[in-house]
Amino acid sequence: MKEKLKKAKRVVVKVGTSILTSKAGLFSKDEVERISQEILDVLNEGYEVVLVSSGAIGCGMDVVGLKARPKELPALQACAAIGQGKLMKIYEDFFSKKKFHTAQVLLTRDGIQDRERYLNARNTFNALLRMRVLPVVNENDTVATEEIRFGDNDNLSAFVSALVEADLLVILSDVDGFYLKGKTRLDHVKSLGQIDKELRAHLYTNNRAKTTGGMEAKLEAARLAMQSGIPMVIANGREKGVLRKVLAGESVGTWFHASEKKRALRKNWLAFSHTKGDVEVDDGARKALVDRGKSLLPTGIRKVKGAFSLGDAVRIVDARGAEIGRGLANYGAEELEKIRGHRTDEIRKILGYKYYDEVIHRDNFVVMTGE
């Protein structure tokens, strides 16, 4: 891992609400400035940093005197609207005094579903980093609905890491890493299979008044980062000099090792796309897709769920409902319902026309499972 870190240049840092608050649980300008100093230190060493910062909703809650995080979406959006500008002002005031500037980037999942918008967002990030500007990213909570939300900033940070092709994702929380039930910190996670087969059994519920996500969300972020070929570390953001320690390869936090093969940018986009339905396949189709890198043909399809059209992203699942991968459909749901289980030479006879032999071409499919 230390050898890989020597080549790291671009780092995404996710800061959780829990380390931007005081011991009394209130949003704290002092804590924001403390973590800003950590980021400044690595910027001065020549790293490119993208900051995914929570805290806007917590800041807004304190302004209006709310003790518990609202459950209704409009109230959450109102708190975000109140707090986002105040949070950005703290960041800009701090960094501008140190000869750096910040740029606010608000994202929603639907804003980058379109391939062109995805590339535009990527180009914007690259331009900001070339200008030595610190992008400060958050979900656009003010307009997001359940259908277009990332859900939490852990997942958002994994998406941003893939978008900018980061060399490392650092998630800073108020814990030292992932702990097993015996209170032993896990130092390394070396495979995707380890997350499901071992780590999930050690999760526990920890409800907090001002935060979302938790360790389960961090494991999902780790899965997404690892699949994208990006290593990730969960570390304690309250530890002094933690970012420099991480980049030096010191034994801090829990490290999630990246898959050896880095996914192409197009497939990263597809992996994070919002899906419109599920296509259940048999074991033969599963092996063809995952093990042999083949396209999906109608003969291997068992069931079709959802209302999707040609060109929409869909999940490919097995008989247990476990996700195998995601792809762009060459036929709509109604068409697939008619041709599922049939050979490709029967498509024209059944539908009266044929777009493609493949339901999903291998170039438009990304595997979402692995050991």
How confident is the model at residue 181, as a pLDDT?
76
Q: pLDDT band for 86, please (50, 70, 90 cuts).
A: very high
Q: Check: CB of residue 101 under 8 Å from CB of residue 134.
A: yes
How confident is the model at residue 210, as a pLDDT?
44
How confident is the model at residue 35, as a pLDDT?
96
Q: pLDDT band for 272, please (50, 70, 90 cuts).
A: confident
Q: pLDDT band for 211, please (50, 70, 90 cuts).
A: very low
Question: Mean pLDDT score of the chain, rounded to an integer?
Answer: 88
Q: Check: CB of residue 59 under 8 Å from CB of residue 82.
A: yes
CATH 3.40.1160.10 in the chain: give the residue spans: 2-267
Q: Mean pLDDT throughout 183-190?
A: 86
* 109 vs 310 pLDDT, higher one: 310
Radius of gyration of the chain (CA): 22
CATH class of 275-367: mainly beta
Q: Is the pLDDT of residue 60 over 70?
A: yes
Q: Check: CB of residue 88 under 8 Å from CB of residue 137.
A: no
Q: Which residue has the tokens 């030595």?
A: 132
Q: Is the pLDDT of residue 279 over 90?
A: yes
Helix H or strand E encompassing 15: strand 10-15
Helix H or strand E encompassing 179: strand 178-179
Instruction: Please say whether the structural domain 2-267 has been given the CATH code 3.40.50.2300.
Output: no
**pLDDT tens digit string along 99-150?**
999 999 988 776 667 778 888 999 999 999 999 999 999 887 666 554 435 5
How confident is the model at residue 91, as a pLDDT?
96
Pick from 87, 57, 84, 86: which is nearest to 73 by CA?
57
CATH 2.30.130.10 in the chain: give the residue spans: 275-367
How confident is the model at residue 286, as a pLDDT?
95
How confident is the model at residue 114, as a pLDDT?
72
Q: Is the pLDDT of residue 207 over 70?
A: no
How confident is the model at residue 182, as a pLDDT?
74
CA distances to 102, 154, 352, 361 from 134, rounded to whole Å, are 5, 19, 55, 38
- Angstrom distance (rounded) from CA 151 to CA 239: 27
Q: Mean pLDDT throughout 76-95?
A: 92
Please spell the DSSP secondary structure of 107-167, one letter per residue: E-GGGGTSHHHHHHHHHHHHHHHHTTEEEEEEE-TTT--GGG---SHHHHHHHHHHHHT-S
Q: At what angle do helices 153-164 and 115-130 cross, to 10 degrees?
A: 80
Q: Mean pLDDT throughout 60-71?
A: 87
